[in-house]
């Protein structure tokens, strides 16, 4: 039986999972992670609070552990993430730095982290979640101090540090066509026209049964591809109001299939990543109490209907 990763590879794609360092002591978990997926995203290990907790003091132990595991398993790595408003150490978020100094802090962070992982990362989520849901720029410390130029600066620094990595901007609630994906579209178009290095757009895909499947996912991916960038589904999970039942699990399975087919229908959609693969380690219940069961494997690491649906959508038997 081919795995999800092998089925995706037969279509010229990858099928990945997020993972996190504390989970790596769970041997059955690690076995399935290594077998079923051909790409890994560190869920937390490469974020700013993990990699530069104090100014100029870099720490790569957690990220290195995940890169080493991926290399051992023959898996690609999606680097996540260089510049984000969240999980930002307080020395950055509360620093009150003047613009020139914050710009140099940002460039130094991107340069140092991307240089450390040079040649070992397939994609970098260089900028994560730059937009509000209405399509305006999120008022992060970077935007409020530097304006939108921080995005081009981060991309240029990442390109210089690791010319072989594909550079992405990644966001959520951009999966279908709407105000937020329109804003991302206009940003990417503008960056391309200015010659700023941008290779891909990540669509996180944090979906919820109670909100409905976003409309026109395939058309949305295609319009970005038509700008001359790759696209990827980077953090897919499909949560529900608990308890799960067979009807919800079968709708969830259908959505996993629909999203996969939308990606496969777009030649520049290079792969899909689930935001961890088992309900045992999902971020959802901690952030949305009363919701969960979002992933293709249950809390006991047993495959759910979504797993079979993914296999079928990827062309498996
Ligand atoms: O590092 C501390 C640790 O020292 C402490 O003992 C522990 C106790 O709770 O907390 C640890 O920090 C947690 C961190 O994950 C690392 O485990 C935070 O509380 C927790 O909030 C954090 O959650 C992460 C979340 O991003 C933060 O926004 C999730 O694991 C991670 O899956 C999630 O991932 C994000 C993507 O990066 C971007 N897109 C949305 C996605 C889901 O929120």
State whether residue 109 is helix, strand or coil: helix
Residue minimizing CA distance to atom 15 of ligand 1: 44
d(CA 82, CA 155): 10
User: What is d(CA 233, CA 266) in angstroms, rounded to the nearest whole number?
Assistant: 12
Instruction: Please give the chain's pLDDT, 317 residues, in tens.
Output: 899 999 999 999 999 999 999 999 999 999 999 999 999 999 999 999 999 999 999 999 999 999 999 999 999 999 999 999 999 999 999 989 999 999 999 999 999 999 999 999 999 999 999 999 999 999 999 999 999 999 999 999 999 999 999 999 999 999 999 999 999 999 999 999 999 999 999 999 999 999 999 999 999 999 999 999 999 999 999 999 999 999 999 999 999 999 999 999 999 999 999 999 999 999 999 999 999 999 999 999 999 999 999 999 999 97
Q: What CA–CA distance (Å, rounded) separates 85 from 130?
A: 8
Domain borders along the chain are 4-229
Please give the ipTM for the structure prediction.
0.92
Residues 6+ apart with CB under 8 A from 177: 215, 216, 219, 220, 223
Chain segment 72-104, per-residue pLDDT in tens: 999 999 999 999 999 999 999 998 999 999 999
DSSP state of 133: T
**Which residues does residue 83 pair with via DSSP β-bridges, in sequence order?**
127
- The pLDDT value recorded for residue 16 is 99
Q: Give 277 Cα–ligand 1 centroid separation in angstroms.
A: 16
List the residue whose alpha carbon is closest to atom 37 of ligand 1.
43
Quick: pLDDT tens for 185-213: 999 999 999 999 999 999 999 999 999 99
CATH class of 4-229: alpha beta
Contact partners, residue 187, CB within 8 Å, separation at least 6 = 130, 148, 151, 169
283 touches ligand 1 (CB under 6 Å): yes
235 is catalytic: yes
CA of 78 to the centre of ligand 1 (A): 17
Residue-by-residue DSSP string for 27-51: HHHHHHHHHH-SEEEESSTTSHHHH
Phi, psi of 290 (to 5 degrees): 85, 0
CB 121 within 8 A of CB 77: yes
Our answer on whether the CB atom of 43 is closer than 6 Å to any ligand 1 atom is yes
């Amino acid at each position: 039986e081919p795995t999800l990763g092998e089925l995706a590879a037969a279509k010229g794609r990858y099928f990945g999972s997020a993972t996190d360092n504390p989970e790596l002591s769970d041997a059955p978990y690690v076995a399935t992670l290594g077998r079923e997926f051909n790409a890994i995203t560190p869920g937390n290990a490469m974020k700013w609070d993990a990699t530069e907790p104090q100014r100029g003091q870099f720490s790569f132990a957690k990220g290195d552990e995940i890169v080493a595991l991926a290399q051992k398993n023959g898996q690609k790595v999606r680097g996540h993430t260089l510049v984000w408003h969240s999980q930002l150490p307080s020395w950055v978020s509360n620093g009150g730095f003047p613009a020139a100094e914050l710009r140099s802090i940002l460039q130094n962070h991107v340069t140092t982290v991307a240089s450390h992982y040079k040649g070992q990362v397939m994609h970098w989520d260089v900028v994560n979640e730059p937009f509000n849901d209405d399509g305006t720029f999120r008022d992060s410390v970077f935007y409020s101090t530097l304006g939108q130029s921080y995005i081009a600066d981060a991309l240029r620094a990442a390109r210089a540090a690791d010319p072989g990595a594909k550079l992405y901007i990644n966001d959520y609630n951009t999966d279908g066509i709407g105000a937020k994906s329109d804003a991302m579209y206009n940003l990417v178009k503008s960056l391309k026209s200015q010659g700023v290095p941008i290779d891909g757009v990540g669509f996180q895909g944090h979906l919820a049964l109670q909100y409905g499947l976003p409309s026109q996912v395939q058309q949305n991916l295609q319009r970005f591809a038509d700008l001359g960038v790759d696209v990827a589904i980077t953090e897919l999970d499909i949560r529900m109001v608990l308890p799960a039942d067979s009807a919800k699990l079968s709708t969830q399975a259908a959505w996993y299939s629909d999203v996969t087919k939308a990606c496969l229908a777009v030649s520049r959609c290079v792969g899909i990543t689930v935001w961890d693969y088992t309900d045992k380690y999902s971020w959802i219940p901690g952030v949305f109490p009363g919701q969960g069961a979002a992933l293709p494997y249950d809390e006991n690491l047993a495959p759910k209907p979504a797993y079979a649906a993914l296999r079928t959508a990827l062309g498996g038997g």
